[in-house]
Amino acid sequence: MFTVIILGLSAGSVFLLSFICLVNPGKANGIANRWLSAFLFCFGLTLLADIAYTLKLDTQYVRLTLLSEITRFAMAPALYLSVSYFTAADRKFRKADLWHFVPCLLFAINCLPALAPGFSGPLLLNRAAVSFPVMAPYIRNFMFLVIKLQVIIYWIGAYTRLIRHRKNVRLIYSSPAPVELQWLKYFLLGLLFMVLLWFNEVFFHFAWMESYSPLGYLTAIYFISYFALHQREIYAFPARAVEDIGEIIRESNYKARQERVAADKIEALKTRLVLIMETEKCFLDPELGLPALAERMDLSSHELSYVLNNGFGSTFFDFVNGYRVEQAKMLLQSDRHRHLSMIGIAYEAGFNSKTTFNTTFKKVTGLSPTAFKKAAATGEGLQHSPSIT
């Protein structure tokens, strides 16, 4: 009974989170959250099926059990599409996306005889196993493994897209930490933990692990719920800028890029950009993004990205943070700013993340901020960092 209570709490929590994602009170990442809601709803049905199995009700409510089995084939694709929408600036639903749900459709067709009112015949695959006994072991193994393989493949696909996103946001944001989808990383890791618990139940059967599985599910569900509720809009820009960003990200995967600015204009634009950075000091704005700087330059985001890549050989992230590092170096050597802590120096220079400050500073100067400050105090060991321009 303890197991049933814990699984019931888990299922109720998942359904509640599914509803919250569907309603989306924060109005952020709308389509992505709807797919996330669909995934969570399917997951909740899976937990209900586990409760029915534990209470030996699965044979009494066959149709409800089969419906939960059908939705399992939609669960992993819904998660993958959710991550795809979270990580793509201008993602739109394509007809090709329907292929993700072909296994779900095929399994639903397989279940039709048992789902039809007034009919309780065997599933189509079971009929095939009876008609062709030699195929029976293969059919059973296929049905046993297919959903497990689907979960593994789609989880890897989702995590790969997330890693790629964390690289892509540096093309658009100078301070990417708030939009790197760290919460989604923890969400996926929480799901992986639950998958491992599930695999233990069906493959390995470690008794000590099985006894704690219900509590493990409940803990992981609250874990992923916490992070799912801490999200913000990823590409909060006008529609035109979002389209440009989508093209910039896609083009970054190819060596040959379409010419966006005439070669004879790049030097003049470089000079104007450096002038804006040095006089307006817009790099001190921690929220500075590619569209905002492009607007100051009277360029499209696409054009500014092209100037940065082909004129400076730099990404937007590296270009802006290069100026912030120079500002931080000045502050670290200033007597008027001795009272500031390292995080204070970081904020004054335009960084909004201590981690980004430390890693970027060391990448540019070869020293950590603390080591640089000590070297500056003694006047020894300082090397001139490469010019931003």
For residue range 32-79, what is the model confidence (pLDDT) as tens digits?
Answer: 999 999 999 999 999 999 899 889 888 788 778 888 889 999 999 999
- Taking only the tens place, the pLDDT of each residue in 199-220 is 998 898 888 888 888 899 999 9
Q: Which burial class, exposed, middle or buried, applies to 262 when counting CB atoms under 10 A from its CB (0-12, 13-18, 19+)? A: exposed
Mean pLDDT across the chain, nearest whole number?
87
What is the per-residue pLDDT for 120?
56
Q: How many CB atoms lie within 10 A of CB 283?
A: 25
Residue range 16-33: mean pLDDT, rounded: 91
Rounded to an integer, what is the distance from CA 226 to the centroid of its chain?
15
The reported pLDDT for the residue numbered 335 is 86
Own/partner contacts of 62-68, CB < 8 Å, gap of 24 or more, are: 62/114, 62/120, 63/114, 63/115, 66/111, 66/114, 66/115, 67/115
Q: Give the 3-state secondary structure of residue 179.
A: helix
Residue pLDDT, tens place only, 275-314: 999 999 999 999 999 999 999 999 999 899 999 999 999 9
Q: pLDDT confidence of 389, banded at 50, 70, 90? A: very low
| Mean of pLDDT values over 105-116 | 80
Q: Which helix (H) or strand (E) holds 286?
A: none
Query: Is 133's pLDDT higher than 70?
Result: no
Average pLDDT over residues 161-170: 93
Concatenated DSSP letters for 233-253? -SS-S-HHHHHHHHHHHHHTT
Mean of the pLDDT values across residues 318-340? Answer: 93
In the predicted structure, residue 154 carries a pLDDT above the cut 80: yes
Cα–Cα nearest to 78, from 34, 27, 13, 20: 34
The listed range with the strongest mean pLDDT (137-146, 152-161, 246-255, 257-266) is: 152-161
Distance between CA atoms of residues 138 and 144, nearest Å: 10
- Diameter of the chain measured on Cα atoms: 89
Rounded mean pLDDT, 122-145: 65
User: Sign of dihedral through CA atoms 172, 177, 179, 180?
Assistant: positive
Q: 348: pLDDT confidence band, cut at 50, 70 and 90? A: very high
**What are the pLDDT digits (tens) for 217-244?**
999 999 999 988 878 888 888 888 888 8
Of residues 289 and 89, more confidence is placed in 289
Q: 139 pLDDT exceeds 80?
A: no
> Coil, strand, or helix at residue 9?
helix
End-to-end CA distance of the chain: 68
Asked whether 83 and 117 are in contact (CB, 8 A), the reply is no
8 Å CB contact between 50 and 7: yes
Rounded Cα distance, 217 and 127, in Å: 35
In CATH, what class is 239-378? mainly alpha
Q: Please, what sign has the CA dihedral across residues 356, 359, 365, 368?
A: positive
pLDDT band at 382 (very low <50, low <70, confident <90, very high): low
pLDDT of residue 228: 86
Alpha-helical (H) ranges within the chain are 2-23, 30-54, 62-87, 102-115, 124-131, 136-168, 182-199, 207-228, 239-251, 263-280, 290-296, 301-307, 316-332, 342-348, 354-365, 369-378
Residue 386 pLDDT grade (very low, low, confident, very high; cuts 50, 70, 90):
very low
- Residues with Cβ < 8 Å from 287, sequence gap 6 or more? 175, 352
CA distances (Å), 47 to each of 4, 57, 79, in order?
Answer: 10, 13, 17
pLDDT above 80: residue 385: no
The pLDDT score that the predictor gives to residue 126 is 62
Residues 350, 319: Cα–Cα separation, whole Å: 13
pLDDT above 70 covers a percentage of the chain that reads 90
What are the tokens at 192? 């992986």
Residues 359, 190: Cα–Cα separation, whole Å: 27
Report the range of poorest mean pLDDT among 57-66, 179-188, 250-259: 250-259
> Span 165-176, mean pLDDT?
90
pLDDT bucket at 387, cuts 50 / 70 / 90:
very low
Closest CA to 37 of 16, 67, 51: 16
